[in-house]
């Protein structure tokens, strides 16, 4: 069966009746190979699946949604495309559960940049689909959430967010709004900063891996 998104997969070394799924969502202008380099460092009982965003930007680059600039270089996200990608990721999760022996109660989204923004949108719109989110170098974009998301039950959702203090792509000030926003929704969350730019430092990787294993 052909699934909705192209993807790379690392199957668990330790197989059970049902295994956890860690779904990787790359950033704007990247591809499914980018975060997949993490796969060998992640716990042996996970399905690690890295999805390719649907919009082809040529030369091996893909995007979850377009980012447009006006004459004054102001940036605008295509919210219609972003919501379509949000729904596509939710459908893709359902397809993966139908295809592989994945535990539907142990699904982790790990997104970088645009992938992190969409991870928030998926998890807060449909917390019944996702139990944990690792959001790296992203921010919360409320217009991408389902209209009635505040009525959702977030009691089983845990979020780890991190950001570089000298991020030149997404200002750290945007990311700093994450924790208060999630606290208002009573979502269990951890927020950390690292002295880096728009990327994932070894310490950041170590910290989120530790968080995954402890939570």
Helix (H, G, I), strand (E, B) or coil at 112: strand
Q: What is the pLDDT along the chain (215 residues), one digit of tens a residue?
A: 689 999 999 999 988 899 999 999 999 999 999 888 888 888 889 999 999 999 999 899 999 998 776 666 566 778 999 999 999 999 999 999 999 999 999 999 999 999 999 999 999 999 999 999 999 999 999 999 999 999 999 999 999 999 999 999 999 999 999 999 999 999 999 999 999 999 999 999 999 999 998 87
E strands, the chain, where? 7-10, 19-25, 47-51, 55-56, 62-63, 67-69, 75-77, 102-112, 132-136, 158-164, 188-194
Would 37 be classed as within a structural domain? yes
- What is the value of pTM for the model shown? 0.94
CA distances from 190 to 96, 150, 163, 180 (A): 28, 20, 12, 11
Structure confidence at residue 66 (pLDDT) = 86
Q: Tell me, what DSSP letter sits at residue 52?
A: P
CATH number at residue 147: 3.40.50.1820
With CA atoms as reference, report the closest residue to 125 among 91, 160, 77, 175: 91
State which residues form the domain around 126: 7-154
Would 195 be classed as within a structural domain? no
User: How many domains, the chain?
Assistant: 1
């Amino acid at each position: 069966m052909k699934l909705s998104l192209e993807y790379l997969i690392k199957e668990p070394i330790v197989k059970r009746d049902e295994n956890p799924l860690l779904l990787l969502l790359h950033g704007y202008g990247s591809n499914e190979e980018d975060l997949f380099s993490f796969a060998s460092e992640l716990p042996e009982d996970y399905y690690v699946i890295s999805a390719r965003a649907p919009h082809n930007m040529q030369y091996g680059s893909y995007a979850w949604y377009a980012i447009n600039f006006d004459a004054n270089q102001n940036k605008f996200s295509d919210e219609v495309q972003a919501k379509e990608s949000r729904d596509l990721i939710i459908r893709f999760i359902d397809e993966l559960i139908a295809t592989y022996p994945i535990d539907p109660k142990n699904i982790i989204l790990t997104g970088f940049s645009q992938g992190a923004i969409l991870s928030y949108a998926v998890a807060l719109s449909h917390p019944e689909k996702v139990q944990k989110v690792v959001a790296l170098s992203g921010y919360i974009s409320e217009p991408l959430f389902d209209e009635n998301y505040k009525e959702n039950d977030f009691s089983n959702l845990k979020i780890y967010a991190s950001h570089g203090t000298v991020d030149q792509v997404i200002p750290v000030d945007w990311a700093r709004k994450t924790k208060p926003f999630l606290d208002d929704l009573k979502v269990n969350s951890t927020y950390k900063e690292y002295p880096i730019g728009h990327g994932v430092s070894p310490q950041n990787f170590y910290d989120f891996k530790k968080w995954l294993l402890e939570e």
